[in-house]
Structure 1
Amino acid sequence: MPTRKEGPVMSSPTQKIAFIGLGIMGSPMAVHLANAGYAVTGFDLSPRGVQPLVEAGGQAASSAAEAVADADVVCVMVPDSPDVKAVLTSDGGVFASAKPGALIIDFSSIRPDITAELARQAVDLGFRYLDAPVSGGEAGAKNAALSIMVGGSGEDFETAKPIFDVVGKTIVHVGPNGSGQTVKAANQLIVAANIQALAEAVVFLEAYGVDTKAALEVLGGGLAGSKVLDQKKENMLSRSFEPGFRIELHHKDMGIVTSAAREAGVAVPLGSLVAQLVGSARAVGDGGLDHSALLRGVERLSGLTASASDPGES
Structure 2
Amino acid sequence: MTERVGFIGLGIMGRGMAANLLKAGFDLTVWNRTSGRADELVAQGANLAASPAELAAQCQVIISCVSDTPDVHALLLGDVLTSAQPGSLVIDMSTISPQGARVCAEALAARGIAFLDAPVSGGSEGAAKGTLSIMVGGATEDVERARPYFEAMGKTITHVGRVGDGQTVKLVNQILVVGTMLSVSEALVFAQASGVDLERTLAAVSGGAAGSWTLTNRGPQCIKRDWRPGFTIDLQQKDLRLVLQAADQIGVPMLGTGMIFQLYRTLQADGLGEEGNHALIKALERLAGVEVGGL
Q: Per-residue displacement from partner, 1:109-132 (whole Å, max 9, x unpaired)?
A: 001111111111111121000000
Correspondence for 1:29: 17
Structure 2 residue 229 is the aligned partner of structure 1 residue 243: yes
1:283-298 correspondence runs (5 A): 283-298=269-284
Q: How does 1:167-186 map to 2 (within 5 A)?
A: 167-186=153-172
Q: Are the counterparts in 1 of residues 233 and 272 from structure 2 also a CA contact under 8 Å?
A: yes
Tell me which residue corresponds to 1:44: 32
| Structure 1 outlier segments of 4+, above 3 Å | 304-308
Amino acid aligned to 1:259: Q
8 Å CA contact 1:149, 1:183 repeated in 2: yes
Residue 45 of structure 1 and its aligned partner are, at CA, apart by 0.7
Which residue of structure 2 aligns with residue 16 of structure 1?
A: 4
Could you say which residue in structure 2 is the equivalent of 1:190?
176
Structure 2 residue 251 is the aligned partner of structure 1 residue 265: yes
Inter-partner Cα distance in structure 2 for 1:201 and 1:305:
13
CA distance in 1, matches of 2:262, 2:65: 26
Of residues 89, 97, 106 in structure 2, which corresponds to 1:103?
89
> Which letter maps to 1:32?
N
| SS state at 1:69 partner | helix
Distance in 1 between residues matched to 2:18 and 2:39, nearest whole Å? 11
Q: Shift of residue 55 of structure 1?
A: 2.1
Say if 1:27 and 1:52, in contact at 8 Å, map to a contact too: no
- Structure 1 distance, partners of 2:77, 2:120, is 22
Does structure 2 retain, via aligned residues, the 8 Å contact 1:81–1:110? yes
In 1, Cα distance between equivalents of 2:180 and 2:290: 22
**CA deviation string 1:256-311 (max 9, x = no partner):** 11110110111221111112112222222111000011111111111346997xxx
Number of residue pairs matched by the alignment = 294
Partner in structure 2 of residue 80 of structure 1: 68
Unaligned runs of 5+ in 2: none
Percentage identity across aligned positions? 41
SS in 2 for 1:300: helix
Whether 1:166 and 2:152 are equivalent positions in the alignment is yes
| C-alpha RMSD of the superposition | 1.4
1:119 maps to: 105
Kindly report which structure 2 residues correspond to 1:46-65, keeping only aligned pairs within 5 A, or say none.
46-65=34-53
Decide whether the 8 Å contact of 1:101 with 1:128 is kept in 2: yes
Q: Take 2:173 and 2:43, find their aligned partners in 1: how far apart are those partners?
A: 33
* Structure 1 residue identity aligned to 2:87: G
In structure 2, C-alpha distance between the alignment counterparts of 1:262 and 1:58, rounded to whole Å:
43
Q: Closer, same or farther in 2 for the Cα pair 1:149/1:298, shift >3 Å?
A: same
In structure 2, distance between residues paired with 1:297 and 1:80: 25
* Distance in 1, Cα, partners of 2:292 & 2:214: 21
Counterparts in 2 of 1:306 and 1:220: CA distance versus 1, 3 Å: closer
Return the TM-score normalized by structure 2.
Answer: 0.97
User: What SS class does the counterpart of residue 202 from structure 2 fall into?
Assistant: helix
* Structure 1 unaligned blocks of 5 or more: 1-11, 309-314
The answer to whether the 8 Å contact 2:4/2:27 transfers is yes
Does 2:29 correspond to 1:66? no
Q: SS at 1:87's partner residue?
A: helix
